[in-house]
Amino acid sequence: MSKLSKLKADRRSILKAGTAAAGLLAMPSILMAEEKKPKEIIVRAWGGAWGDALKAGVADPFTAATGIKVRMDFTEDNEIKPKIWAAVDQGRVPPIHVNWDTTTNATISALRGATVDLSDLSNLKGLLPSAKPKGLEGYPLVNTYAYVYVCAYRPEAFPDGPPKSWNVLIDPKFKGRVALYDDGIGFNPISVLVGGGKLSDIPDHMEKGYEFYRKLKANKPLLGEDADFTTWFQKGEIDVACTISVNAREAQQKGINVKWTVPQEGCKVDTDGLWVPKGLPGNEEYWAKEFVNFALTREAQQKWCSLLGLPPVYPGIEPPKDLVGDPSYPTKPEDFKKLISIPSPVLVKNQPIWFAKFNEIFQG
């Protein structure tokens, strides 16, 4: 039973027994917070199918359990970030209660001191290690699911089976028919490994990766964003790409013949998470944290992450049928050993450098 459910059950028992006063003495801070429920909390979210999944899996059930309306704010994450920082710096109430963010972006806010510590959330216990933000003390944010930048491919172009190595991207046979993100996100660390470097070379010795990129440039890759990959596969314009598994799965669900794999060098795994900004009134901070706590329950994780097609941080949840046994859907600690995870503080410091070098090579 969750902390929230237990609290409601305890209150019902107290009222039934006619000992409400004793209950108030036993749990004053918790019951005072419940009595001062805000009418709504505001959660910054991504729109479209992402927001729909959060609403169905977390927001609506939270409202049903607490009576607190959840209003989603679809302001772009990089646009709302300075507004939160300004409010925290100036001692004002921030514009939202919970931010649904990439772990890298959330880490920037955490290092700035703009986030509330979530270490006391009852539902943190027993989660997969991926829930804990790497390289940070405590829980200034909590990761809620993982996603993998897979090697997506057209089976017709690979009659002998899926690509075994990322070296396929520089095979002249696929010239003009390979694709990456337009800043190399999801592939920059992998480029070092496929270029002959070691994991220990990251982030200080990236030259092997840059050498690989120079070879890749000669193969005239297409560079784009999430939506582009589905379009390119749909139109038969590419044969192989590095993209988030969600995009490949979406293309597949639209009837496009696309599959994906984790090559021998591995794939980069990233996470998104939730955090609460500092500066909220006490009762509102309490319920913002309870929203995050609720999002970590088995029921919320199962529905939310299943709709996204992404592996949750709650252990033991069955994947969607089409993702059972999929190496891009890690559910156990050993599954993550096949994937490359870079601590967020390292990404915060080095990703801008990698992006700039990527653009220099491919745009120069």
Q: Are 342 and 268 in contact (CB under 8 A)?
A: yes
C-alpha distances in Å from residue 150, one per residue of 210, 257, 329: 20, 16, 10
Q: Are 98 and 43 in contact (CB under 8 A)?
A: yes
Q: Are 246 and 308 in contact (CB under 8 A)?
A: yes
Band (pLDDT 50/70/90 cuts) for residue 230 is confident
pLDDT, position 15: 29
Whether residues 254 and 180 fall in one domain: yes
Structural domain total, the chain: 2
pLDDT, position 336: 83
Whether residues 230 and 296 fall in one domain: no
Q: What are phi and psi of 255, to 5 degrees?
A: 90, 10
Whether residues 198 and 347 fall in one domain: yes
Band (pLDDT 50/70/90 cuts) for residue 200 is very high
Average pLDDT estimate for 164-188: 97
pLDDT, position 34: 58
pLDDT, position 167: 98
Q: Among the residues of 48-156, which ranges form H helices?
A: 48-54, 60-66, 77-90, 103-111
Band (pLDDT 50/70/90 cuts) for residue 33 is low
**Between residues 149 and 336, the one the model is more confident about:** 149
pLDDT over 90 (residue 352):
yes
C-alpha distances in Å from residue 117, one per residue of 83, 121, 179, 254: 20, 9, 39, 41
Whether residues 240 and 125 fall in one domain: no
361's tokens: 């090579």
Q: Among the residues of the chain, which ranges form H helices?
A: 3-17, 20-26, 28-35, 48-54, 60-66, 77-90, 103-111, 188-194, 207-217, 226-234, 245-253, 282-295, 298-308, 333-336, 344-363
70 beta partners: 41
239 exposure class (CB count in 10 Å sphere: 0-12, 13-18, 19+)? buried
- Angle, in degrees to the nearest 10, between helices 207-217 and 344-363: 40
**Between residues 127 and 5, the one the model is more confident about:** 127
Whether residues 216 and 352 fall in one domain: yes
Whether residues 56 and 101 fall in one domain: yes
| CA 296 to mean position of chain CA atoms | 13
pLDDT over 70 (residue 6):
no
Band (pLDDT 50/70/90 cuts) for residue 236 is very high
Q: Indicate the pTM of the whole model.
A: 0.81
Average pLDDT estimate for 135-146: 96
Q: Are 289 and 276 in contact (CB under 8 A)?
A: yes
pLDDT, position 48: 83
Whether residues 90 and 160 fall in one domain: no
Torsion of the alpha carbons at 317, 318, 319 and 322, rounded to the nearest 10: -170
Whether residues 110 and 48 fall in one domain: yes
For the chain, percent of residues with pLDDT exceeding 90: 79
Domain enclosing residue 200, as ranges: 147-270+331-363
* Unique residue bearing structure tokens 């917070």: 33
Question: Which segment of 38-47, 84-93, 109-118, 335-344 scores lowest on mean pLDDT?
Answer: 335-344
Specify the long-range contacts of residues 315-323, CB closer than 8 Å, at least 24 apart.
Answer: 315/126, 315/127, 315/128, 322/249, 322/252, 323/249
* CA neighbor of 65 nearest in space, from 2, 13, 17, 142: 2
Mean pLDDT, the chain, whole residue set: 89
Whether residues 208 and 65 fall in one domain: no
83's tokens: 């507004």
Residue 83 belongs to a domain with what CATH number?
3.40.190.10
Average pLDDT estimate for 21-43: 61
Whether residues 180 and 98 fall in one domain: no
Whether residues 86 and 130 fall in one domain: yes
The pLDDT tens digits of the residues spanning 66-124 come to 999 999 999 988 899 999 999 999 999 999 999 999 999 999 999 999 999 999 999 99
pLDDT, position 354: 97
Question: Which segment of 6-20, 114-128, 208-222 scores lowest on mean pLDDT?
Answer: 6-20
The pLDDT tens digits of the residues spanning 270-321 come to 999 999 999 999 999 999 999 999 999 999 999 999 999 999 999 999 999 9
pLDDT over 70 (residue 9):
no
pLDDT over 60 (residue 23):
no
pLDDT, position 29: 47
**Between residues 32 and 334, the one the model is more confident about:** 334
CA distance 333 to 126: 12
Whether residues 229 and 264 fall in one domain: yes
pLDDT over 60 (residue 17):
no
